Structure 1
Amino acid sequence: MSESLFRKEALESNRTKMIGSVALYCPPYRWLVISIVALITVSIALFFVFGSYTKRETAVGELLPVGGVLTVSPPVSGTVVNLSVTEGESVHKGQPLMEISSEVATSLGRTRHMVADQLEMQRSRLQADLAALDTLNKEAILGLKERLVLLQSQLKQTEMQRKQRIRQIELARVQLDKIQQMQKEGYASNTQVEQQETNLLDTDTRLQETTRQQLDLQQQIAQTYQQLREQPLNALNQRHDMQSKLSNIDQQLAENESRRSVVLQAPQDSVVGAVLTKQGQIVNAGQSVVSLLPENGKLQARMMVSSRSIGFIQAGQRVVLRYQAYPYQKFGQQYGRVAEVSRTALSPQEVATLTGNNEVREQHYRVVVELDKQDILVYGKTEHLKPGIALEADFLIDNRRLIEWVLEPLYALGRRSAS
């Protein structure tokens, strides 16, 4: 019989453990927590699957009439002496808007006024000369005809004298022959022969003088005929010369008046949007003094979109508008649709000219948006929108589910791998 080294009580005591058996404790609301976590997880999953996000491109612009804003500027510098219109007034094409005077006063007085008076005097004299030109032409033709009749009468008389001289020469030669015959027979002296020869020479000299007078008269008659033919042409040339001088004076008068006073007129039927000057104010050439709006013109939003953002913007796209004059936090956002996108990009210089923004460094496209409404509800009242209101626009260019946006990098990687 073998005996243990330790007593039975010691062995029993060693078997006793200080820690009891393991028991799992589950609180009574554990299923509620599990349900909430599961619901949140499912909601997030559903949100990513069925939720969507719209990508937007933002641009800034302003409201402008469909026909654009017309600005009227004077061609010369001067003082506004007569302001004929007020803001909001309807004007017709050609209606005077204002008169601008550039009259300069010196020690001699108003110089342009004096120049105008001198030109008017010259113009009056030329008009009087032009009116008398027909009478002078008729008188000149009548005088030439009378002179022609007189010359022809003198030519006839000269012809008669010439015939008489020829007859006298014939008689003198016959007489000389007789005296020479009588001298041979001794009945006439040498002195008688010499006298008869001298008489013949005198008669021949008078014939030559008469012939010279006849030729001179024929030349004068030919010249008179030539003057008769040229007189209408000369009168016509004088008329053209006077008319040219009159046109030159009229041009000088117009130029003097344009420098002296300019009347600005409405280029078309429109409404005065703004009068940018006042009577008595000095304005510079090219300075905008009146802005005109088309009558009953609808407004549209015009903005410049950078070439980096223009890719997905196209006609018919929905646009969200926020007018700076009416904060959208209080008066809400407005809507419109893209009506037009320019086909060519505008250079930074062209954008600066159109918008006045000189900080543009890249090309832009002009986008025109047609408004859904031409008014806005402000504190319960409908207010018509005004040209020139600045705005921000969000172009809704791409709408996708959230899961597609999350997985877009994987899609892109797959497309690159496939290509």
Structure 2
Amino acid sequence: MSSMLFREEVLAAQTRQSLGAIVLMQPLSMRCAAWTSVFLVAALGFFLVTSEYAPRVRVSGHIRPIGGLIKAVTPQFGRVVVCHVREGSKVAAGQVIYELSSERNSENRNIDSGITAVFAEKYRLLEREQSLQVEQWAGRERALSERLQFIAAGLIRFEQEISLQKQRVAIAAQVVTRYRSLRDAGYVSELQIMQHESEQSEQFARLQALERAKLESQRDLAQTRSEVEQLHSQIAINNLQILRARAMLDHESAEQLAHSRIQVVAPASGMVTSLTAVVGESVSAGASLATVVPTGGELEAQLLAPSRAIGFVMQGQSVRLRLDAFPYQKYGYLEGSIVSVEQSPLSAGGSEPTYRITVRLAQQFLSVTGQRQQFRPGMGLEADIRQRPQRLVSWLFGPMLGAVKEHKS
């Protein structure tokens, strides 16, 4: 029996086969899935290439007036005795907000009251000194005035006596001239002429004595007038000294009053907030007793960003703000833009350094149920700072490409 390469059953099956070879058909769903995958990959690539991503930095802060709040501080230690305003009151620049007393006591004795009594005694002594000096100058001025009157009257008498004496001298000269003519005629003796010449000389000597006395009186008159002028100058100098002493005393008294009664005034016009002291409370020097919000000033947002978030924050970037007082889920966001970014940190101690960011608000109010709700200084908020956008492909693959370049270099 000869052996066969194929079995008889196989050969018989081939002779009976009439339908042809079997072909495996690929399902239609697999083809659609492949094309769909290709489309999705292409769409994803197009999206990554054309789309952009803007990273955001979230920071916190608060609302404040442009230029900041103004503090009213006390210059020295004291006790509050009067508060002239209430929270939210409008004040003008220089208006008194608080009055403080700095009275000091020692051994059951009020030191400030004792100092006040000392100043009162100084004023009394100064007035007494001025009164005595006025009386002294007035008495001396009266004496000089009487002396001037006496000298002037004496000069008038001297003028009269000199005029009469000149007449006597003239008469004596005429008598001597007549007797000389009579002597020449032989009617009188030489002795008689000598007697009349002697009388003429005596009258002339009296005239010279009167003129010398007149000169002495004129000299006394000039000296007395000079003394009067000196007296007036001394009175003026004395008055100036009294005024200077009173001014110094007034200054010392005012300083003492300023130290014992202190006024804390508003540094600017605006609304008073944060009254921190009550009547009877003692406050230390430099303590902030009130805060003044300037009138008419717009508000801005001040943000504090940690150092890890400040790298790409810059002027002009837009900011989306969420006010704590107005939930953003109901009232939405508030838009703003960065005005300035501080270059130096505010604190670098144990905590992370923070940088101040100033944001200009797009509006100064929110509309709540049809009414404008004005923002108030001190309102807390959170902010999202939208930084420079970048394409998604560079955002996704940028770190990897950077690492590759760094590895190659």
TM-score normalised by the shorter chain: which range applies?
A: 0.5 to 0.7
1:382-404 CA-to-partner distances (Å, cap 9, x unmatched) read 64322123334333331233234
* Structure 1 counterpart of 2:18: none
1:387 aligns with 2:377: yes
Distance 1:153 1:55 in 2: 112
Distance 1:255 1:336 in 2: 50
Contact between 1:320 and 1:333, CA under 8 Å: does it hold in 2?
A: yes
Distance 2:320 2:140 in 1: 86
* Structure 2 counterpart of 1:399: 389
1:141 aligns with 2:136: no
Seen in structure 2, the aligned counterparts of structure 1 residues 151 and 409 have a Cα distance that, compared at 3 Å, is same
Task: Identify which of 6, 10, 17 aligns with 1:12.
Answer: 6
TM-score normalised per structure 2: 0.67
Question: SS of 1:11's equivalent?
Answer: coil
Distance 2:8 2:277 in 1: 113
One-letter amino acid matched to 2:314: I
Distance 1:132 1:314 in 2: 77
Distance 1:260 1:268 in 2: 25
Amino-acid identity (%): 24
1:71-102 CA-to-partner distances (Å, cap 9, x unmatched) read 11111112111112111111223322121111
1:320 aligns with 2:297: no
Distance 2:398 2:139 in 1: 103
* Structure 1 counterpart of 2:277: 277
Matches within 5 A, 1:182-201: none
Give how far 1:293 is off. Answer: 0.7
Question: SS of 2:54's equivalent?
Answer: strand
One-letter amino acid matched to 1:244: R
1:300 aligns with 2:300: yes
Seen in structure 2, the aligned counterparts of structure 1 residues 308 and 336 have a Cα distance that, compared at 3 Å, is closer
Distance 1:12 1:310 in 2: 83
Distance 1:374 1:285 in 2: 36
Question: SS of 2:293's equivalent?
Answer: strand
Task: Identify which of 360, 364, 372 aligns with 2:362.
Answer: 372
1:285-311 CA-to-partner distances (Å, cap 9, x unmatched) read 111111111224321012356599466
Seen in structure 2, the aligned counterparts of structure 1 residues 43 and 137 have a Cα distance that, compared at 3 Å, is farther
Contact between 1:133 and 1:239, CA under 8 Å: does it hold in 2?
A: no
Question: SS of 2:6's equivalent?
Answer: helix
* Structure 1 counterpart of 2:119: 119
One-letter amino acid matched to 1:47: F
Question: SS of 2:389's equivalent?
Answer: strand
Distance 1:61 1:400 in 2: 27
One-letter amino acid matched to 2:97: L
Distance 1:156 1:298 in 2: 89
**Aligned positions, number:** 342
Distance 1:131 1:47 in 2: 103
Contact between 2:268 and 2:292, CA under 8 Å: does it hold in 1?
A: no
Distance 2:267 2:121 in 1: 34
Give how far 1:41 is off. Answer: 1.6
Give how far 1:237 is off. Answer: 2.0
Seen in structure 2, the aligned counterparts of structure 1 residues 370 and 132 have a Cα distance that, compared at 3 Å, is farther
Distance 1:233 1:246 in 2: 20
The answer to which of 290-299 and 52-61 deviates more is 52-61
Question: SS of 1:145's equivalent?
Answer: helix
- For structure 2, list consecutive stretches of 5 or more residues without a partner in the other structure: 12-20, 162-213
1:310-357 CA-to-partner distances (Å, cap 9, x unmatched) read 666124x32222345556566543210223456xx44x5xx35xxxx8
The answer to which of 379-388 and 79-88 deviates more is 379-388
Give how far 1:270 is off. Answer: 0.9
Question: SS of 2:141's equivalent?
Answer: helix
Distance 2:234 2:311 in 1: 72
Seen in structure 2, the aligned counterparts of structure 1 residues 33 and 240 have a Cα distance that, compared at 3 Å, is same
Distance 2:227 2:349 in 1: 74
1:108-137 CA-to-partner distances (Å, cap 9, x unmatched) read 643213322432343355457658877765
One-letter amino acid matched to 2:260: R
1:289 aligns with 2:306: no
Contact between 1:324 and 1:390, CA under 8 Å: does it hold in 2?
A: yes
Distance 1:22 1:132 in 2: 149
Matches within 5 A, 1:203-352: 224-303=224-303, 309=310, 313-315=314-316, 317-326=317-326, 328=328, 332-341=332-341, 345-346=343-344, 348=345, 351-352=346-347
Contact between 1:56 and 1:398, CA under 8 Å: does it hold in 2?
A: no
TM-score normalised per structure 1: 0.65
Distance 1:336 1:373 in 2: 8
Aligned-CA RMSD value: 4.5
- For structure 1, list consecutive stretches of 5 or more residues without a partner in the other structure: 1-5, 161-213
Matches within 5 A, 1:5-154: 7-8=2-3, 10-13=4-7, 24=24, 26-107=26-107, 109-123=109-123, 126=126, 137=137, 139-148=139-148
Contact between 2:337 and 2:360, CA under 8 Å: does it hold in 1?
A: yes
Seen in structure 2, the aligned counterparts of structure 1 residues 277 and 25 have a Cα distance that, compared at 3 Å, is farther
Question: SS of 1:275's equivalent?
Answer: coil
One-letter amino acid matched to 2:47: F
Question: SS of 2:388's equivalent?
Answer: strand
Give how far 1:51 is off. Answer: 1.6
Seen in structure 2, the aligned counterparts of structure 1 residues 77 and 36 have a Cα distance that, compared at 3 Å, is same
Question: SS of 1:238's equivalent?
Answer: helix
The answer to which of 251-260 and 285-294 deviates more is 251-260
